[in-house]
Amino acid sequence: MDGKTLARFGAVAFVAVAITASVIELTRKDEATEIRTLSRPHVSDPGSLRATLRHCRDLGEAASRDAACLKAWAENRDRFLGATSPEAH
């Protein structure tokens, strides 16, 4: 096969796949989207956690050795990931 014939064959195959994908997409029925709400774990005082996180941010590298910052980061991580702390059980 020469180059022109191979290029034409490739173009025809590409157009056939594009048309097939378009037809499948247009004939597909829309499914109803299910909306679910997630419950948030109880946070004792979001304002104090936010203030503690800001304080830790301002401490810089020293915050990695501060017990209060480590606890605040763990609580924020659990809150973000939706995990419940072992203390709540």
Kindly give the confidence (pLDDT) of every residue in the chain, 89 residues in length, as a single tens digit, with 9 standing for 90 and above: 788 999 999 999 999 999 999 999 999 887 776 766 655 445 556 678 899 999 999 988 989 999 999 999 999 998 888 876 555 54
Give the pLDDT confidence score for residue 30 in this predicted structure. 75
pTM of the model: 0.43
* Helix, strand, coil percentages in the chain from 3-state DSSP, rounded to 5: 70, 0, 30
Query: Model confidence over 46-65: pLDDT tens digits?
Result: 678 899 999 999 988 989 99
Burial string for 29-63 (b: 16+ CB within 10 Å, else e) reads: eeeeeeeeeeeeeeeeeeeebeebbeebeeeeeeb
The domain segmentation of the chain, as residue ranges, is 3-28+44-88
